[in-house]
Amino acid sequence: HQLNLRVIAEGVETAEQHAFLLANGCDDMQGYLFSRPLAPDEIARLLARGAVMLA
């Protein structure tokens, strides 16, 4: 933002956290709200199907 850096939030778990971060200019987020931890083979399957949005 003022430093021309992207803001990334980790550990987003609730819709309230998501809304707060969006309202305050957070660029990217990750956490249980979006996906539980995945095993490597699960990630490979999702990527092969094009079902994953990488940030």
pLDDT of residue 33: 95
pLDDT of residue 7: 95
Q: What percent of the chain has pLDDT over 90?
A: 69
- How far, in Å, CA of 50 to CA of 21, rounded? 26
Global model pTM greater than 0.75: no
**Domain assignments of the chain as residue spans, ordered by start:** 8-49
pLDDT tens for 16-42 read 999 999 999 999 999 999 989 999 999
